[in-house]
Amino acid sequence: MRKRDDPAVIGRRVQKLRTQRGLTQRQLAEPAYTPAYISTVEAGRVRASDEALRHIAGRLGVAYEELAVGRPAHLATDLRLRLTGAQRVLADGRAEEAAVQYARLLAEAEGHGLGCEQATALLGLGECALETGELTPARQYFERAEACLADESLPVRVPAVRGRAVSHYLAGELRYAVYLLESTLDELNRGGLHDPDALLLLYASAIGPYMDMGAHARAAQAAEFALALAPQAGDPALIARMHRSVARTLIAEGRVAEADASLAKAAELYRQLQLRTELANCHWMRGYVRAQNGELDGAEAELRQAQAMLAESRAALYRSQVAVELADVLHRRGKSAEAAELLRGVLGDFSSERGAVHAAAAHRLLGIIAEDARDGEAAEEHYVRALSLLERAGAAGDLADLCRLLGDLLRRTGRIEAALDAYRTGLGHRTTPGTTTLGPAPAQPPL
């Protein structure tokens, strides 16, 4: 609770409320205190005890907090209701509108010293910023939320930690994202803080960075833990997010039917919850599943649906990431010109600090398209730019594949030594696919 106001401030507040209610100092004092005592309180000459303030508050018909810190009755409850309303606006894909509401609620919570409500508003602002691709502000909001929750238990702080990790992941800082998630998981499990929602949120969030780093064994293990924790979790949106993330590991293991079933469960939950952006992400992942299974017509339809939904919600970074995967499907369907045009249209949305892995994927595909058109110089330029992005992000599996493409191109153009260097680099990444470079795995939950 916020520290009590100065005696003079409280005194003026008591006098104002007493006068508004037409009470005398004697009526306010009886039966426990004297009129003289009430007079000294109103004059600010004495620091009333908590017991005295509670008596005065009861006689005035107000909450203790309204006298002690000037906080209107039921403000915290009202703020929480309005924060829930902002969350629904965000869930409906209206991130910019939700951000305006969260900012207003944050100012109100700060003005009244409501720490938990401040943290909730900051988390909401962070999620809005992630939605619109503003990664640096998103990270800063999550850091501030974590600071507000510094005195709370670790499970309560987990959404802020997870938000920071996702901000770093989308910025291409895969290793640091994994460090944040794994160190928090380790602390939770070693400390016996087995909160199902917190653990599920962290394991589901770790799957993406693990997959991009080539740490497939850890991704599969995180998926198994997430699936085991799901029945204990109380948040349907969290369970839906978990099903979407787990689908990635099922795809990597060739379990396409199971991946599709997992995504269908997620989609149904999101429909029930009306979480438009998350539902778009389900269409995105289902498109990816179909593409991996060679169902290119279905993949294109799912990805176009995802792109349209994300465009409506103005989720710029996610929309651009979907465009890269859609371009890959178009290329495989023989529509290379359309794919190249789509990629060039979204490349400006990426940078080494924003969507680095998908930026590299865009350059890789543009390189392949340039090779098909016998433009070796342009292809090499795209491959080299993709290589630089992936090295910074630490995406080992993609790096190995890219080094093979670059080596093949260099070999065909007669630069044998340079090609051998590229192959050696790729082999180095293939033999250390993330699992061996991440350090010890975090402690496991007692499942």
Q: Which two tokens stand for residue 162?
A: 């997870």
CA gap 85, 139 in Å, rounded: 23
Mean pLDDT of all residues belonging to the chain:
84
CA gap 353, 389 in Å, rounded: 9
Q: What pLDDT digit, counting tens, does each position of 405-430 carry?
A: 889 998 988 899 988 888 888 777 65
CA gap 131, 159 in Å, rounded: 16
Q: Which two tokens stand for residue 385?
A: 């730019």
Q: Which of 58-72, 154-168, 268-282 has the lowest mean pLDDT?
A: 268-282
Characterize 201-227 residue by residue with b for buried, 16 or more Cβ atoms within 10 angstroms of its Cβ, and e for exposed: bbbbbbbbbbbbbbbbebbbbbbebbb
Identify the residue whose tokens are 């060039």: 344
Q: What pLDDT digit, counting tens, does each position of 173-229 carry?
A: 888 999 999 999 999 988 887 888 899 889 888 888 887 887 878 887 887 888 788
Q: What pLDDT digit, counting tens, does each position of 79-107 carry?
A: 777 887 888 788 777 889 999 999 999 99
Q: Sign (positive/negative) of CA torsion 29, 33, 34, 36?
A: negative
User: What CA–CA distances, in Å, run from 113 to 65, 107, 415, 427?
Assistant: 11, 10, 66, 56
Entry pTM: 0.72
CA gap 118, 121 in Å, rounded: 5
Q: Give the per-residue pLDDT at 432.
A: 46
Asked whether residue 233 carries a pLDDT value surpassing 80, the answer given is: no
pLDDT mean over 309-324: 80
Return all residues near 140 (Cβ < 8 A) that are at least 6 apart.
none
Confidence band (pLDDT; 50, 70, 90) for 68? confident
Q: Give the per-residue pLDDT at 214.
A: 75
Cβ-based burial of 417 (10 A; exposed 0-12, middle 13-18, buried ≥19): exposed
Q: Which two tokens stand for residue 232?
A: 């204990």
Decide which of 48 and 352 is more confident: 48
Asked whether residue 279 carries a pLDDT value surpassing 80, the answer given is: no
Give the distance from CA 144 to its chain's centroid.
Answer: 14
